[in-house]
Chain A
């Protein structure tokens, strides 16, 4: 690392993360302002409530994958794990069978099991994360299909579907996201394991030399990411009142995009949950706005692609200017 500022920031990831959020904050404000001008419904309470409801699933996934990206890894299995945990939860959520905690916990545990397995394969088997989680992407989808026989698991009781409803006029999925984000931010800031995540992602050799149990730290990141994907799957099942084995196809891409937009480095060691939430919100606001403006689905995909690349590009430019 020839750049001293980079080094300093590596030692203080929180500082670096705050700095890199400015670009996203500006993008979010600009988008919000443009939408408010173009379509008056955008700023209505009902619509903004919808936005936070709609970003919740992507947000929960993004918080999880932030942990993995911080270690310098990646998780491509999110979408399949979402489908699997949704199917598991829906199987246990028929009316009058089990209390609410059973399907929720089962879904989260199914996700944690997938994530834990990812972690084991990456740390013990030394399989690159891209390959390990790619395998899980296929395998978890297969398990979801086997468990459901290829059909949606329906007849869901009201207890679980209420998870997608409102509590005191606030969407429950948004509350779940808030709790998850606060928990993850606290962990990253205040616990030894949280600090180790940055250390491992920043420089794995140095972390190992400093006596950090690199394998354990990475395993934890994948397991937590899986558990959160499981939770997202449960919320999704509640939202669509079924466990869909074919749900969540390509759901891994939006969270990764949101995390990167939020300033977390794909190389690991830099970033945080706050930036991720901003990235998630930005993507959610854009999706909502394009629907409100009735922009054709063809153009929506182009706009989304441009924004992902543009946000990161802008961030890179700004950072290199900062260094000079």
Chain B
């Protein structure tokens, strides 16, 4: 069949190709329509509800999903229509998404920025178009209309202070950092180093990125245990995924009794590990509070009501003593 080079074969093949492309296009359109629940209809009947466009960092991240669910629930309560899109960790995509929101004439935009600098153009475009924009969870270089989130330095200070207390102020500490250059990594590193500076007895043996990733954290911790051996007394991981990875390596090496492991975020798995007495501590970041706060602020901006330029949702240290009081974040 592949050898058929005569006119009939070619025509047949061209016909088949055309049919395939039509079919693909139709299939694509059908899937898009099904998933969106029929966008044409909605635009036709002029929904009176205020519309807020939301661009999220990455919906493959458990913590971001928590924020998203809280936003959807709060929007439902307040009668706000949300258009939620996934930035998939790409600042460039976020800029495009904000441009689309502006073209759709949304009342306000909630941005969960991928990066401090690179997501800034998105903020500037919204400002130029006169659409109020709320940054949630992380910051951008460009100033948004309002910010709802938490101070990442505070989370790291809480975690590292707990380590200092557990070690009695002396011992070797390792720090696992997030993606280098992200706002959360920079601030959590800064907060942790502040505490280390106050405790000269605490020695930072090494600080490396495990890119927020559990599997990478297992590998890094295995290697660190080889390199630093008995001098390791504590690990501060800048998120729970990495803390859980480090914990697995520590447990497999039989060192859990003499190494303190602390994470940040209080994701479900980490809370469970704290309750089980495996993870020493995590720091609760109130994703639910941030999501609800962002929607509330966006609605006030649409209604031209006064808002606080910066709303900080506090962190809380979670240990075995108080773990029961925290639900699934």
Give A contacts to B, CB under 8 Å.
Answer: 39, 41, 44, 46-47, 50, 53-54, 57, 125, 141, 145, 149-152, 154, 165, 208, 236, 239-242, 244-247, 287-288, 291-294, 296-298
Also in contact, A291 and B269, with CB within 8 A (given A246-B58, A246-B61): no
Q: Are A291 and B220 in contact (CB under 8 A)?
A: yes
CB interface residues, B 38-90, toward A, < 8 Å: 58-62, 65
Give the tally of cross-chain contacts (CB within 8 A).
80
Alpha-carbon gap, A287 to B226, bound state (A): 13
Also in contact, A150 and B269, with CB within 8 A (given A47-B226, A236-B215, A292-B227): no
CB distance from A185 to the nearest CB of B (A): 26
Q: Are B248 and A241 in contact (CB under 8 A)?
A: yes
CB interface residues, B 201-217, toward A, < 8 Å: 206, 208-209, 213-215
Alpha-carbon gap, A241 to B276, bound state (A): 15
Chain A residues positioned under 8 Å from B224 (CB to CB): 291
Also in contact, A297 and B268, with CB within 8 A (given A54-B222, A292-B227): no
Q: Are B214 and A50 in contact (CB under 8 A)?
A: no
Q: Are A50 and B222 in contact (CB under 8 A)?
A: yes
Q: Are B60 and A294 in contact (CB under 8 A)?
A: no
CB interface residues, B 108-157, toward A, < 8 Å: none
B218 within 8 A of A: yes
Alpha-carbon gap, A149 to B61, bound state (A): 10
CB distance from B57 to the nearest CB of A (A): 12
Q: Are A291 and B60 in contact (CB under 8 A)?
A: no
Closest to B179 in A: A297
CB distance from B289 to the nearest CB of A (A): 19
Q: Are A154 and B272 in contact (CB under 8 A)?
A: yes
Given contacts A291-B208, A291-B224, 14 further A-B contacts (CB under 8 A): A41-B226, A50-B223, A54-B219, A239-B248, A240-B218, A245-B60, A246-B58, A246-B60, A247-B213, A247-B215, A287-B219, A291-B227, A293-B227, A294-B227
B303 within 8 A of A: no
Chain A residues positioned under 8 Å from B229 (CB to CB): 41
Chain B residues positioned under 8 Å from A294 (CB to CB): 206, 208, 227
Alpha-carbon gap, A236 to B180, bound state (A): 24
B8 within 8 A of A: no
Alpha-carbon gap, A129 to B248, bound state (A): 37
Q: Are A154 and B60 in contact (CB under 8 A)?
A: no
Alpha-carbon gap, A240 to B245, bound state (A): 6
Set A244, A287, A293: member contacting B214, Cβ < 8 A:
A244
Q: Are B214 and A292 in contact (CB under 8 A)?
A: no
B2 within 8 A of A: yes
Alpha-carbon gap, A296 to B207, bound state (A): 8
CB distance from A282 to the nearest CB of B (A): 16
CB distance from A145 to the nearest CB of B (A): 6
Task: Across the A-B interface, give the 8 residue pairs with the lowest CB-CB distance, nearest first.
Answer: A291-B223, A246-B60, A297-B209, A150-B65, A47-B226, A240-B214, A292-B227, A294-B206
Q: Are B214 and A242 in contact (CB under 8 A)?
A: yes
Q: Are B208 and A296 in contact (CB under 8 A)?
A: yes
Set A44, A149, A236, A296: member contacting B226, Cβ < 8 A:
A44
Alpha-carbon gap, A152 to B223, bound state (A): 25
CB distance from B241 to the nearest CB of A (A): 8
B252 within 8 A of A: yes
Chain B residues positioned under 8 Å from A57 (CB to CB): 215
CB distance from B54 to the nearest CB of A (A): 15
CB distance from B239 to the nearest CB of A (A): 12
Chain A residues positioned under 8 Å from B58 (CB to CB): 246
Closest to B62 in A: A151
Set B2, B222, B252, B269: member contacting A165, Cβ < 8 A:
B252
Set A239, A242, A293: member contacting B269, Cβ < 8 A:
A242
Chain B residues positioned under 8 Å from A145 (CB to CB): 59-60
Chain A residues positioned under 8 Å from B244 (CB to CB): 240, 242
Q: Are A288 and B252 in contact (CB under 8 A)?
A: no
CB distance from B259 to the nearest CB of A (A): 16
Chain B residues positioned under 8 Å from A292 (CB to CB): 223, 226-227
Chain B residues positioned under 8 Å from A242 (CB to CB): 214, 244, 269
| 29 A–B contacts, CB within 8 A, in A order | A39-B227, A41-B227, A41-B229, A46-B226, A47-B223, A50-B222, A50-B223, A53-B222, A54-B219, A57-B215, A150-B60, A150-B62, A154-B272, A240-B244, A240-B248, A242-B214, A242-B244, A244-B214, A244-B215, A246-B61, A247-B214, A287-B219, A291-B227, A292-B223, A292-B226, A292-B227, A297-B177, A297-B209, A298-B180
